Each structure stands twice: as structure tokens, then as C-alpha cells.
Structure 1
Amino acid sequence: MRFLKMNGAGNAFAIFDAREKGRLTLAEDQAAAIAKATRADQVIAMEPSGEADVFMRIWNADGGEVGACGNAARCVAWFLMNETGHSRLTIATTGGNLRAERAGEHAITIDMGPPKLDWTEIPLEERMDTRGIDLKIGPIDNPVLQLPGAVNMGNPHVVFFVEDAEKAPAETVGRMIERHPLFPEGVNVGFAEVQAPDRIRLRVWERGAGLTKACGTGACAALVAAHRRRMCERKASVIVDGGELLIDWRGNGHVFMTGPVELEGEGSLPL
């Protein structure tokens, strides 16, 4: 079966077109093997949808299926817009519908919807103020990291605020926290350095994928978490390892993400 190799700000995807097939059914070990063979952070299937232009199914590199991926949504939207000539479309996911709009020749804006902020929506195992949950890394009396913000943007995120994102222990802490008992569904772990009211440097350890060059939902979560702590404005550039994403938490409550798309090539795998 043929696939597209694409990336959004460096976040790499193997995208399969299963619209005629109806559904691409993959076991966890199959999805993980495909991700490894294609060097993709996520495996994506485009499937038919009765309520949207397409349904997007997502597997992380470990083979686990997840509900949302903003960078993948931009790639799928760009491909379909080039195919149909449309400049707007809707992508259905298990995490909700995403509306996409062309923002340039190789740029797409995605309406990621409103963030979920209640502790039951993250979800957490116990009631906490999600502006800064009771989670500490290191000695209790002198933690290295503490009180991350928690946001669900179609999948769960915690965001630690750090002085220097480049020096943050993203890999060790991310690996430690992604399956912490506090998070029954696991969690993506962000390390955000607010450099200015309109600029955030971010690194993300993705649940089931590890450190990635970009995480669209993570960038949205970082902006929301930072604004809730009055650390930045409602609109800011989020600098990730693979490029730059513009995140705008608008007055209607929805978070919009604009970023680049690149088609690297095509390939084929026996499925």
C-alpha cells in the first residue's frame, strides 16, 4: 500500500490513503513496525467520514492509537486541498472535528477547538487546579521541576515552565512522567521557556513517540498553560526543534494553529 512521507515543522508522518478501502486496521505491533520502517513519529490513515471531508486515524510510534495530532492534521489538509482545489475543509478525529484553512502555499491553519481544562477532562486521577498541578520532580524540599500546567487539546498534556528549554531534562523527565499514575491515559510532557509575551521556546516528549521535532497539540497546550499563568499573551510564536508554529487562543475560546507543511516523497509497504 502506498503512503506519503510528510512532515509538519519536522514532525514526521507516514500517511496512508484508505478512503477507498474504508478503514486501515492495524495492530499495535504493525503500526510500530510501520513507524520504524518509515522513520515516522506517527502513522496516519485517511479514511471516509460521513460528517467531515475525511476521518484521520493516528497511531504513535509505539503503535498506540491516539485522538489528535495538529501537525498531521495540517499535512492531511494540505494534501486534500491540493487534490480538491478547496481552501477550507473539516477533518474528523476521535478527539473531535478540526477545521482547516489554507494560510499559504505550504502553510495551513487548523482550528484545534477549545482546550479542556477541568481535571476530569485531562484526565487526572484526582482533583487538582490544572493551572499548576501537584507534581514535583527531584527532592521534595528543592524540586528541579514542579507545578506544571495541564491541558487537553484532544490528547493530554502537562507543561513545565523552565528557564532554559535547551537544558531542560526533557528525555529523562518525559520518559518518567508519560506513564505516571496521576495520568490514567498517559500524558505528553512539554518543557516551555517563555522568552517574551509573544514567544515561547518549547520541547515536547510525546506519549508513545518520545522527543519529537514538533508537537502541534503540545504547542497549543503550552500557549494555553502559559496564558493561564499570565506569562504570555493569547497569541504567540512557539519555537520547536523543527521550526515555528503560530498559536492564537482567540476570544471565541478556540485555539488556532498555523504552521508549515512539507511533502518529502512517497513509498510503498505491504499491508
Structure 2
Amino acid sequence: MDILDYAFMQRALLAAVLVGITAPAIGIYLVQRRQALMGDGIGHVALTGVGLGFLLSASPVWMATAVSVLGSVLMELIRWYGKTRGDIALAMLFYGGMAGGVMLVNISGGSNANLVSYLFGSLSTVSESDVTAICVLAAFVVLVSVGLRRQLFAVSQDEEFARVTGLPVRALNLLTAVTAAVTVTVAMRVVGLLLVSALMVVPVAAAQQLSRSFAATFAIAVAIGVSVALGGTVTSFYQDVPPGATIVLLTIAAFMVLTALATPLARRRARVRERDRASGDPAECAIPATRAPAEHVGT
């Protein structure tokens, strides 16, 4: 049986590739900002957009994009001005988004199957209009995450330093949040709203096991994202298992394998460095004490 003989699988595989690229591409900035769970919160809010799409007989993808972008902007405003009660406001936003989505889907007459397909992903429901929307949104995510990588990395690493250098920190923070929201809607048809955050974060964490340079981590994370997205989609087709759950489990498996491989290598490198220092290796002694941290390399 040839998987490409089916039109819905052609669409699903294309969507999987785009998801595999976009999720880690923006996820690396969220990891740097220590906002790894931001995608999960946006996913909750995006469900309200899905419900509005059903209620208004509009495209759920585009409605979810609009609502999740609005939600991401609110999250940033709460982060700036919420202070001590910001976590409560965020919790209400997340849970309200989820409850609102379930209620709107119910009011619109949608079935539980429709809701589950958006929560956990579904290969057979990826339509041609969905693919068009995903392609447009993915292009925006790649343009921002790659084209503004230096500025976004600087802000994610140290906001105060970025502000001193003249970067528009708040605008870039908003842009990161909006791009994350767009990524969630790109991924929801394949991975699902409840699982998309894992594909934004875990490939980056796995890539960091092999490299501390930003450029290398970015490239490895995207490679992992594409591999697990395609692998999970194909496995889902042949084994009749949920695509979102399969993709996430493969991502976690990749993280565990790379961690197991990286640990002895890191120990070996540490022993070599210690031996070189003890023997007075000129190359080792020539490294200045004020060398920039490894994570800045490649920016």
C-alpha cells in the first residue's frame, strides 16, 4: 500500500513537514526566555477560536489564528503589568479559553469527534483549505524566526542588554508571542492543541544535548522536528494510532536517546580538558578567561 496514493495523506505529510519546521524554529526562543509552556497556554486559548469557527461557519484555522494571536498579546501585557497577580490572570485566560471553546463547539452543534480532532490531531481531517492556511502561516513563522534570529535571540537571552543596545524589546517580545500563537494554529491539525507545546520545546531540549551553539541547536532542533513529525504521521497511518500522541512520544524518545549519547561524550570531553590543563597544553592555556558563553556562539 503506497501512502502517497491517498490525497489526505499527501496533505497530512505536507502539513507534518511544515509543523516540524515551524514548531522548533519558534520554540528555541521560548526555551531561551524560559517560557516553555507558553505554547500550551496558547493552545487552550486557540480552542475558543476553533469553537467560533464552527459557530460562525468560518474556517476554524483562521479563527483560531485570530483568537490565539489576541490571547498571546494579552499574555504579554499580563507579563508586563500583571506583577504579583499575573499568574492568576494567566490561569483564568487559559482555562477560560478551553472552557469557551468546548462550549462554543457544543452550541454550534459540533460533535465530540470534531473537538477531539483539534485537541489531539487527525490526519483524515486535514483539508485543502487547511493546507493553504498552514502554508501561509508557516511562511510567516519561518520569515520571523530566521530573518530576525539575531534580534530575537538577543532579547530572549538578556532583555536589559538588548534594550541598552537600542533594540525595540517590547515589540520583539510581542512578535515572538504572536509568532508562537501562529505556530500553534499551524500545528493543531496534525499534533493537536494540547500536544503542540511538546513539539515546540522537546526538540530544542534534545538538540541542546548535542550543541550549545545557537545556530547548531536551531538546525538540529528543526531536523528532529521534521523527522518525528513525518515519522509520527506515517506510523499513525499504518498503525491506526493518534498522530499527535505518536509524534510527541517519538520526540521524547529522541530526547532520551540523544541524552544517553551525549552524557558519555560530555564526560570524555571534560576528562580531555582536565588532562590538557594538567599537562599545560598551550592551546588550552590560550583560551581567555572572559570567553563568551557557548550559547552565544553562532548568533
Pick the structure with more helix per residue.
2
TM-score where L is the length of structure 2: 0.23
Q: Specify which structure has the bigger relative contact order, considering alpha-carbon pairs within 8 angstroms and separated by 6 or more residues.
A: 2
Pick the structure with more strand per residue.
1
Report the structure number with the largest CA radius of gyration: 2
